[in-house]
A and B are shown apart, each in its own frame.
Chain A
């Protein structure tokens, strides 16, 4: 009888410790917002590109937005999206050929809205070109050898027995709204690995996912800049693009080097007059 009680206790203990290891989901998570799903919903055949010349009239008004993700909890929070868009905006707002960059909240975009929705939003925000950001983030969760110490209960709070591997891709595609033509695109990627205790895993992983998006955008900005520069060169020789001046122009008051020389002359005259008096 005593032996049975001992064996029952051991079995119950093993059952509980095995249960500890299974409290954390090991399968990982995936967050996706696909530009194809947004622009070409239910497409059964290849999209027909509009032929003709794409006119670009600098300073171009640009809209920037994240494409809608796949349902509740399947993507970045809106506040984090706006922060990322602000960073992209700040990186490109100094170009003289970009008139203004409007941040378009994702709530203004309809999931699977297509170019019809894009056209509506472009008119609402008065933009000619829209940069759409799509993303794909995968998080792999694993346990390491230290997770065996979770059975101590205290270990679940202090031992980093769970680890994550988060891989993020953020892709920016720039479209001319009127002709629906893809002007250029650039990707940004990041990989973040880390570990956490079982109790703090959820919070640590969530912060790492946000950091993954931040790093991917950091990687995206210089690549987008490079693509923009090569696009500027490409349109010089591409007959399907034409750069036209808007009705009106931007003017700067600038006297240039001639003004500086003349100012020096005037200063010398004034100084000489003072000395002679």
Chain B
């Protein structure tokens, strides 16, 4: 069934065109749509990645700035003369009111200017400390705390402690450990390199929270800050339970991105590590956020595609119909013609190929119609001529019988000349009748003309001389009957009779160039050019109405010429075609030569024309 369906040749041209148009409109549209979708999603992903990385880089930078200013504060504190003095002498110097208050004011200055600082503390290497807002919880030596050691280990370089837990330090305002980030820096003796003390600055984590909270990573993304060992410094209250220290990726590069699977959902992780703080700012956002943007693009693309489909379908159906409809119309018209209805309606006045085809077809039909008419007409004419010749035969039949009787009577009376004439006449009529056969042996035709000449000779006596010469090979041939007699009649009446003195008539029958040729020559009066032209026109000009045969009023002074010759011409041409017939040459006072060209008929029934003629008579 499918193989049948796939045979393209069985499809209608309309279906083929529809499929074709759909293929060339919708297939590329689909390809383009898919390609655009693919490209856009790629670009979007890349763009949002770069954008977010930049964003995270900026956050990381502002964290650096924050850290930088804290570092500066720690330097500023360690450079202060009073602080140096405290480090030299310990809390003994705090007994001095003036110095104590000056230090208090100095440190208070920082909390005035930096509200993000939760507390500042300067610890001497023996555990004595100096602070406005912080103090030791217990008597445990602060110089033995882990953060103090970390500061020493960093050798004067700024060190951030992300999770300052279990410190023997508290602030008056009771910031919890989870609410602060601690920054420590050892104050070193420039000469000996020994650590003289440590500056401890507690930074409110809130500052980081506000910095990160301001940044929106799509709809559902968030930022978190991770320290160098992967512990979370800060993350927002709602997270995707992303545990950063499971991943090693950011150890390798300072910034980049990768994908992870959290709770069976794909998440994109972007990170940027600051070389200053060694903190990594990490952006976590679900892939579906990016997908959302891509989806938005796809929505329009799909809409566009469906619109294209609808337009493409409409266009393809319209186009294919406009092509196939006239063809179908033409085909149905042809079928009608096939059924015999020649009267086809005029096609629409379209100028395209189908219109041209229709025009040609209509033209062809017209031509056929014309030809049919012509055939019909010719048949009719032939029949008419035959009828007339039949009519001409009936009377001679009666005459023939009568003449036989007269001949018998004359012979009885002994009138020999009369007997000869009557015999010739009788023969003339008999051959003329010739049992109704249209084709007769050439010998009979010659007998016929001889009989005619005997009669005429009786009348014209010495004035008429004649000779008949028939080539040997011609004697067995057949010819159309009574074609010579009208020519002889013409020659006698218009040639010999008009001539002074005796005239000669000759008939020569031969085969010339594959045709039978009968040449009738007289040395009679002949014709001048005008007459000859008129005669020729009467014989050859087809444009002259056909019914002139019935009313031969055409040629003045030579009506019978026209009639007799014309009759012969018509009969030959109707029977054998226009390549046969009569040709005339004449010269005034010299004579006229009439040549009949006749096909070679070796037997009576060899020609179809003959059969039809025979059929008509029987």
Do the two chains belong together in a single complex?
no
Binding site for A on B (CB under 8 A): none
